[in-house]
Structure 1
């Protein structure tokens, strides 16, 4: 799987995450399968179309995030641009899923996005696909920021 993210959406995510400091920012990405790449070597190509920021409801928002499921309800039934990813930032940590991230039900969403602001002058966005079996694993996905 490869994920496309245009520069405008990346800038929105970065701006929102920076405004939320020192707290973890969170939200969802809506998107679509990219039919223009049917002959590509990747089995699936997803294109992010919208970033929807949400309030972080965690008890300790500096080290965790919690999205209120009620906030997500309007987006669960969308068919033209369904939820393609869960996003959150790590203000002081690397963009790697934490043990807490791996215990959530977010593995049911196609992608998991983490933006590290550990080095503010070098934000680091990574996109993962989480798979839950008897243990939860993750692997980094390729993504492109562009037009």
Structure 2
């Protein structure tokens, strides 16, 4: 049985960037990768509680090439490859994936359940933009034993 982490942590700067990326993507879903750069933010990593995932301190946007981009997302294949290469080159760890819901709550949809293979070490963040001026951010952890998304508590590190 996998231990499900209770917390997801993000730096204030990464949080602002995440919201800006999602708002800029309207009316379509924005998507991308959440990363942790250990070399540049050692204090941030040290501040991360033991029961948390690595803190998100880097946001990498990936173009959404879904045919119905207002209601779904699909990573641009070359952007995905380029992002993984860039992260490896810059000694960043993959923490999770994100996408926005322009017109719905941050609840995983049937497409979210079917669309991506999840690792036990990754989180899955949905940003609701029902009200673009007051986004709702909800991180999840996928539990393979019952094929469900479990909500994580969101914590920010102010820098």
Other-structure match for 1:36: 46
Q: Which runs of 5+ in 1 are unaligned?
A: none
SS at match of 1:103: helix
**Corresponding residue to 2:139 among 101, 108, 127:** 127
Aligned counterparts of 1:18 and 1:37: Cα–Cα separation in 2: 29
Matched, 1:91 2:91: no
Q: CA RMSD in A?
A: 2.3
Matched, 1:53 2:58: no
SS at match of 2:56: strand
Matched, 1:70 2:112: no
Other-structure match for 2:124: 112
- Contact 2:53–2:95 under 8 Å retained in 1: no
Residue by residue over 1:30-89, the C-alpha shift from the partner in whole angstroms, topping out at 9 and shown as x without a partner, is: 116876368x562x4311121011111000000000002332223436283121111100
SS at match of 2:155: strand
Runs of 4+ with >6 A deviation: none
- Contact 1:6–1:145 under 8 Å retained in 2: yes
Give how far 1:27 is off: 0.7
Aligned pair count reads: 144
- Contact 2:13–2:57 under 8 Å retained in 1: no
Instruction: Please report the TM-score for the alignment, with normalisation by the length of structure 2.
Output: 0.79
Matched, 1:20 2:25: yes
Aligned counterparts of 2:53 and 2:29: Cα–Cα separation in 1: 28
Relative to its length, the structure with more strand (as a share) is 1
Instruction: Please report the TM-score for the alignment, with normalisation by the length of structure 1.
Output: 0.85
